[in-house]
Amino acid sequence: MEQILPVDKNFNSAQALYIGKATDITDTTVAAGKTRIIRISAITDCRIWAYKETKEGDGLNIPEGTIEYFGIPEGYILEIEGSANVMG
């Protein structure tokens, strides 16, 4: 199914994601899929990295209880240190 932006009652596109499969993960890596946009809800304090071949830097800190949306290129690896709910 092709994902297109939902529209409001005036047929204007709304900047929103469709609800998809979400998974609770802890201290793991996942491959970015074709969605290219992910939602991360931090269950605990988390550090995240997105990389193609080599992880660099200290990672992005996401405090417990925070929800963020990120774009990740297809074929990249998402690595999460901590516990989070990930959709996309």
Q: What percent of the chain has pLDDT over 70?
A: 92
Q: What is the pLDDT of residue 28?
A: 93
Contact 24/84 with Cβ under 8 angstroms?
A: yes
- Inform me whether the pLDDT recorded for 21 exceeds 60: yes
pLDDT given at position 1: 45
pLDDT surpassing 90 at residue 36: no
- Cα–Cα distance, 11 to 29 (Å, whole number): 38
Does pTM top 0.85 for this prediction?
Answer: no
Averaged pLDDT score across all residues of the chain: 87
* Backbone φ and ψ of 75, nearest 5°: 90, -5
pLDDT digits (tens, 9 = 90+) for 47-88: 999 999 999 999 999 999 999 999 888 889 999 999 999 997
| Helices assigned H by DSSP within 24-68 | none
Give the model's confidence band at 31: pLDDT under 50 very low, under 70 low, under 90 confident, else very high: confident
Using CA atoms, how far apart are residues 80 and 82, in angstroms rounded to an integer? 6
Contact residues for 44 (Cβ-Cβ < 8 A; gap 6+): 64, 82, 83, 84
